[in-house]
Structure 1
């Protein structure tokens, strides 16, 4: 904003200077030329009177001396002709005795009219000012006097004036720039304070609120409103954190007690009521899982978390090994395949929760005798314009999902219309939040041979550039090139066996 205010001041002042100085320069040049023309014409008229008097008294021999004296005094050249246009004397060229009555200015003067103007001088290759006047006696032209003056001094003077105007304009612009910069800094200082306060609020705590007694009245009111809003938001965030930390303890105990009481009814119920009891116990368990999921999401939303460098391959292998036993109960195999992805940026503990939720959903949808594949890969670069993303694919061989269902799958509490399991509808929502908190993205695609392909994309990390702040995610480079030996494909099969 400081730059924009400064540019607006400079642009306005530049327009004013151009509107003032350019017309002044042209008017000055024109006035100087007019003054010089009038002076030359007045001198030529005076010289013509003297020459006419000499000719009238038969003293034509005095004309060369008079012309030379005038030329030396004014720095011009002088030519005098008789009433026929024959040159009587010329201080610049040896044209005495030549008839020049055909020249336009001489012809005009022979008709008793004065001629003044400028023309090119082929000898000096510059502009000259001519003043040609007739010497008359009783309305009879006795002689013609022509003076030629170089315009080079006038041109230099006009150029010097333009330079002075330009220097003055630059000086004014420099002064306006200094004044405008100071003014812009004073105006934007409260805005910078608001920016810093906003950044602090985004981090979760406002430690340095903006001053409400500085700057223009509008910015003072804005700072006051921002401070009240920030205080209110901090209070709400504190209340949410308190609820998330306390509700977990307050809700777990009654749910656990309710489940135990329901299970204690089992010996005293008739066989026909056993099914209803099992359904009630299942709903209590589902409610417990839903509460835990909501609390986990609340903690995730209220926490200021920073991604760290984590080895994706190690996490994938560990989680696959842990889930082998659960997969074996349903006669489902788990396969780890793909190329080594190396280290990635992720929130601590996020990768474990992401893989657990995706595997849990895949197991619910996988029929017996099928395989769940966990594949890691680092796509090739696209010419250096954008760094590649490390990918984790969790692919099952279940019924899959329609395009509409895949678009809604990340909504909280959403479950497919044909779902027959006891899921809470929070798993994929948590996966999406954890992935985005890690700086990545998750998508659901149709698997090539049926089923669902959940793709998690994360930023790869370089060991030499490992940083602990999220801003580094935009600058990190791929860990390895796809052509290195460490990226050779690997396939590891972890088979689940029924207990």
Structure 2
């Protein structure tokens, strides 16, 4: 911010200086040239008056002396010619060619035509710029000739250059002063903003040990800092309340549920056979309530703190979860496969990949028909790494897939026992890891959950890895007629 403010101030000051100094420089240059032209014109008029008297009284030697003295005084050249262009007096030697063309020179010709003015010309002779002025010589109504006066303009050019240099140095000095003041002002304004940034980073880390300063900076920034401190204090209070609720709820809810489950287990030997179905239903609902409590507590714990993604070995996590769930899948007559090439590490919240796979595999097992296959496969994409969990269950409609990540939502025909929190937790963990969770129709029937994470493994050439073949199996008759809803349907 300091740099942007400094650049803004300097740019504004530079624009003001340019708008002032450039016109001033041009005005001074034009005035200097006008002054030099007027001075030359006055000298030429003076010589013309003296030549008129000298020629009228027949004193050409005095005219020659006056011409030489004038040329020496102005550091230029003076020439007096008669009406035909023949030199009468000159301060410098003239060769024959120049003598013959004097009458044809524009300034002399203009002065000899009617003798009613002066002609000004600028030219370069020997690398030096000269100013040429020609005026007529009159005695009464008689035209006696013309005077041409040539003066060098290097002195004028030096004065103009010095003025431009002075303006430039003055501009640099002004910009330096403006830069010094602007830097101090930008630091004064930017300091509280940087303090607010530091406090915001601290708050994003989960706590605000040092509030933002409310005694420095402009009044608007001080008011903003005070508002931020109040907001941060309120957020800390809310987070502390939520954390306390999560801890208390964990104790107050899980303990009675465990006691209730124990009492139901103890009742099992004493329950008559015709009431055994009611006891099993009560035990099932108790387990479902316990899972719902665990899901709610997991969501609360995840939302109460700012989680930072870390590098996670996706291959190791996928192998470990597939191995852990393999035995349970076998008991239900469902095959669990892990396919795909290694994809390396990706950014994820610690423990998030394991929880995501556990929820997806649990939901897949709940809806997978006996004899079907649930596939976990890995894939590298240009946007990162992907974990796919695909089953061969009935799948979901587009509207059901859109709502599947809502809390407590379950498909109308979902199997019993779900809580409606599994996929909500999957999405929250994926988003907290900087990734994306999707539900897509699986090729051949069923549902496919896709988890996309930012990978740390270098891409293959071109960023497009070789595709991993997706298992394509026809759904069984049981899958076609089943009432499940695919991956996550039980917990969606």
Pair in the same fold by TM > 0.5: yes
Q: 1:94 — aligned with what?
A: 95
Q: How much does 1:451 deviate?
A: 1.6
2:372 pairs with 1:390: no
Q: 2:480 — aligned with what?
A: none
Gaps of 5+ in 1: 383-387, 462-476, 492-499
> Which one is further off, 289-298 or 449-458?
449-458
> Which one is further off, 205-214 or 450-459?
450-459
Paired residues for 1:451-462 under 5 Å? 451-461=446-456
**1:334, 1:373 within 8 Å by CA — same for their partners in 2?**
yes
Paired residues for 1:21-420 under 5 Å? 21-92=21-92, 93-94=94-95, 98=100, 100-110=102-112, 111-121=114-124, 123-124=125-126, 127-262=129-264, 273-379=275-381, 389-420=384-415
Residues 1:16 and 1:308: Cα distance change in structure 2 (over 3 Å): closer
Residues 1:249 and 1:183: Cα distance change in structure 2 (over 3 Å): same
Q: How much does 1:374 deviate?
A: 1.4
Q: How much does 1:241 deviate?
A: 0.9
> Which one is further off, 294-303 or 441-450?
441-450
**1:76, 1:148 within 8 Å by CA — same for their partners in 2?**
yes
Q: How much does 1:200 deviate?
A: 0.4
Q: 2:418 — aligned with what?
A: 423
Aligned length: 464
Residues of 2 paired with 1:302 and 1:99: CA distance? 101
Q: How much does 1:28 deviate?
A: 0.6
Residues 1:99 and 1:292: Cα distance change in structure 2 (over 3 Å): closer
**2:372, 2:392 within 8 Å by CA — same for their partners in 1?**
yes
> Which one is further off, 425-434 or 21-30?
425-434
Q: How much does 1:230 deviate?
A: 1.0
Residues of 2 paired with 1:164 and 1:354: CA distance? 73
**2:133, 2:150 within 8 Å by CA — same for their partners in 1?**
yes
Q: How much does 1:369 deviate?
A: 0.7
> Which one is further off, 110-119 or 410-419?
110-119
Residues of 2 paired with 1:212 and 1:99: CA distance? 87
Q: How much does 1:368 deviate?
A: 0.9
Residues of 2 paired with 1:290 and 1:22: CA distance? 78
Q: How much does 1:149 deviate?
A: 1.7
Q: What secondary structure is seen at the aligned counterpart in 2 of 1:205?
A: coil
Residues of 2 paired with 1:249 and 1:199: CA distance? 33
Residues of 2 paired with 1:231 and 1:4: CA distance? 31
1:254-305: per-residue Cα shift (whole Å, max 9, x none)? Answer: 2233344455565666666544443333223212211110001111112343
1:30-64: per-residue Cα shift (whole Å, max 9, x none)? Answer: 11111111111111111112222221121224444
**2:367, 2:415 within 8 Å by CA — same for their partners in 1?**
no
Q: How much does 1:442 deviate?
A: 2.4
Q: How much does 1:363 deviate?
A: 1.0
Residues of 1 paired with 2:2 and 2:99: CA distance? 76
**2:204, 2:306 within 8 Å by CA — same for their partners in 1?**
no
> Which one is further off, 8-17 or 307-316?
307-316
**1:88, 1:97 within 8 Å by CA — same for their partners in 2?**
no
Q: What secondary structure is seen at the aligned counterpart in 2 of 1:378?
A: strand
1:58-92: per-residue Cα shift (whole Å, max 9, x none)? Answer: 12244444322221221111111113433223445
Residues of 2 paired with 1:169 and 1:405: CA distance? 70
Residues of 1 paired with 2:109 and 2:467: CA distance? 101
**1:396, 1:451 within 8 Å by CA — same for their partners in 2?**
yes
Gaps of 5+ in 2: 471-492
**2:379, 2:467 within 8 Å by CA — same for their partners in 1?**
no
**1:439, 1:458 within 8 Å by CA — same for their partners in 2?**
yes
Residues of 2 paired with 1:28 and 1:11: CA distance? 25
Residues 1:357 and 1:426: Cα distance change in structure 2 (over 3 Å): same
Residues of 2 paired with 1:337 and 1:23: CA distance? 77
